[in-house]
Amino acid sequence: MRKTILSIVILLSLSLSAQTSGVIDEVIWVVGDEAILRSEVEEERLRAQYEGQPIHGDPYCVIPEQLAIQKLYLHQAELDSVEANESSVSHQVDMRINYYINQIGSKEKMEEYFRKTSSEIREEMMTTVRNQMIIQQMQAKLTQDIKPTPAEIRRYYNSLPADSIPMMPAQVEVQILSFEPPVPVEETERIKSRLREFTERVQNGSADFSMLARLYSEDTESAKRGGELGFVGRGQLVTEFADVAFNLNDPKRVSRIVQTEYGYHIIQLIEKKGERINCRHILLRPRISATDKINAINKLDTIRQLVASDSIPFEVAVLKFSQDKNTVMNAGLMINPNTGSSRFEYQDLSPEIAKQIYSMNEGDISQPFVMMDQTKNREVCAIVRLNKKTDVHRANLTDDFQTIKAMLEEKLSREFLYNWILKKQKSTFIQIDPAWQGCDFEFPGWIHDN
């Protein structure tokens, strides 16, 4: 009874506040003790429109229902003491704000587009992202015990109509051995000399750091913003870069030259906020000569011949020669970052690797080739071995057990959460403005007598 009275008070007071302040807004739903405003619906509609997210149905029906569902989860999360990791929240918000600035063009244009200050945008994003993380954790907690047995998975697969069994794309499992050709000392000195020249020009006032970054930095994304990285935490930066950047205190000074796995940098502080920092940098990468590449290819060819003649196992060769830190301790086995498995579709591999293995058979080792290391954005030399190749086929229990298991888990989780929401509707005070009731809701229990 107390919640019912409190919710009606919220409904009346917020509506009155909107009228007396001259702001065109209104409370359209109340879920428990929480109100949903018309302005919230409009903001969600505009955000989805900007981010290209489709809304399936009338947005003035779909969005309020989505917000109401969120409030059900958030209320349960409060009861169960489920909280978001604030560091993760801040990291996600930094990424989103940097994305908006990059897409719109500048911080000022972003503020103009959203008609809010950067601080207001950040504060609202913090709430949104925090709630999203809490809801995801709450859903995971509710469905954590859904673990179908092998027998249940087989029964589920056997119950599927033949035409509803998904087609599985061609997939491959690949091992790689790669290393970078050594960079001549003369090239390293050339890079450092150039960065020292940039530093001197900034310090004596003859050039602006951001202008130099736009013209010369080889970090192409940050170069578009004058080298600016946006607010980041220490954990978002490689250690060598973070150690120098977080020790900067004077925005008018330029750091010493910093070497990382990406190349050589100089850094300029913009602003510090607690455990986060915003700075600019200029990145230059050493060039590898054609002669150095040929020498590396010849070395790889020798290794390939040793493996092909059974003089050394491929796995041992990886441990002895490979410089790919992501695969060296895994016998060279590549892991798909999108799925966490060792299986790749061709389009998930780098173009150079995909081209090599397309016509290979299981157990074959490629000829040495040059490829771009996407994480470092520089050239490396490599050989690959094709461990396994699966052609396009309908999913089956032998080759695709984990995929079928995931399908069943998703189905059972979806059904569980649907029924959970139906139960929560019955035990939660819900009030919807009559003008907003004429909808074909996904969940039929929103409108009931209280």
pLDDT at 185 over 60: yes
Q: What is the mean pLDDT of residues 106-112?
A: 86
**pLDDT of 114:** 81
Q: Please check whether residue 206 is in contact with residue 68, taking contact to mean a CB–CB distance below 8 angstroms.
A: no
**pLDDT of 12:** 38
Q: Please check whether residue 244 is in contact with residue 317, taking contact to mean a CB–CB distance below 8 angstroms.
A: no
DSSP-derived 3-state class of residue 171: strand
Burial 271-295 (b: 16+ CB within 10 A, else e): ebeeebbbbbbbbbbbebeeebbee
**pLDDT of 100:** 82
E strand or H helix at 402: helix 401-427
Q: Please check whether residue 171 is in contact with residue 232, taking contact to mean a CB–CB distance below 8 angstroms.
A: no
**Nearest alpha carbon to residue 72 among 424, 318, 331, 437:** 424
pTM: 0.65
Is it true that 2-146+429-436 and 169-182+289-394 share their CATH fold? Answer: no
Among the residue ranges 18-27, 35-44, 85-94, 261-270, the one predicted with the least confidence is 18-27
Instruction: Give the Cβ contact number of residue 127 at 10 Å.
Output: 12
**pLDDT of 231:** 86
**pLDDT of 6:** 38
Q: Give the contacts of 156 (CB within 8 A, at least 6 positions apart).
A: 148, 404, 407, 408, 411
User: Has domain 185-284 been given CATH number 2.10.109.10?
Assistant: no
Q: Give the contacts of 273 (CB within 8 A, at least 6 positions apart).
A: 231
Per-residue pLDDT band at 23 (split at 50, 70, 90): very low
Q: Give the contacts of 71 (CB within 8 A, at least 6 positions apart).
A: 31, 32, 34, 36
**Nearest alpha carbon to residue 327 among 408, 377, 274, 382:** 382
Q: What is the mean pLDDT of residues 287-291?
A: 84
Q: What is the mean pLDDT of residues 37-47?
A: 88
pLDDT tens, residue by residue, 370-413? 998 877 667 889 999 999 999 999 999 988 898 999 999 999 99
Cα angle, residue 47 at apex, residues 44 and 48 outer, rounded to 5°: 85
Percent with pLDDT over 70 in the chain? 93
Per the model's pLDDT, the better-predicted residue between 257 and 104 turns out to be: 257
Q: What is the mean pLDDT of residues 265-278?
A: 92
Q: What is the mean pLDDT of residues 88-106?
A: 84
Q: Please check whether residue 33 is in contact with residue 6, taking contact to mean a CB–CB distance below 8 angstroms.
A: yes
The token pair at 94 is 């930094």
Task: Note the CATH architecture for domain 169-182+289-394.
Answer: Roll (3.10)
Dihedral sign for Cα atoms in the order 320, 324, 325, 329 = negative
pLDDT at 1 over 50: no
pLDDT at 10 over 70: no
pLDDT tens, residue by residue, 195-217? 999 999 999 999 999 999 999 99
Q: How many residues does the chain have?
A: 450
Cα–Cα distance for residue pair 279/112, rounded to 1 Å: 23
Per-residue pLDDT band at 4 (split at 50, 70, 90): very low
pLDDT at 290 over 80: yes
Q: Please check whether residue 281 is in contact with residue 213, taking contact to mean a CB–CB distance below 8 angstroms.
A: yes
**pLDDT of 5:** 36
Q: What is the mean pLDDT of residues 78-106?
A: 86
**pLDDT of 147:** 94
**pLDDT of 24:** 60
The token pair at 77 is 């999360």
Q: What are the domain boundaries of the chain?
A: 2-146+429-436, 169-182+289-394, 185-284
pLDDT at 255 over 80: yes
Inter-CA distances, 138 with 81, 82, 143, 241, Å: 10, 7, 9, 36
| First-to-last C-alpha distance (Å) of the chain | 10
Query: For 2-146+429-436, CATH number?
Result: 1.10.4030.10
Per the model's pLDDT, the better-predicted residue between 49 and 280 turns out to be: 280
Which one-letter DSSP state was computed for residue 366?
P
**Nearest alpha carbon to residue 44 among 59, 23, 27:** 59
Burial class of residue 334 in the structure, from the number of CB atoms within 10 Å of its CB (0-12 exposed, 13-18 middle, 19+ buried): buried
pLDDT at 81 over 70: yes
The token pair at 296 is 């590396």
pLDDT at 68 over 90: yes
**pLDDT of 182:** 81
Cα–Cα distance for residue pair 408/152, rounded to 1 Å: 9
- Tell me the pLDDT of the chain averaged across its residues: 88
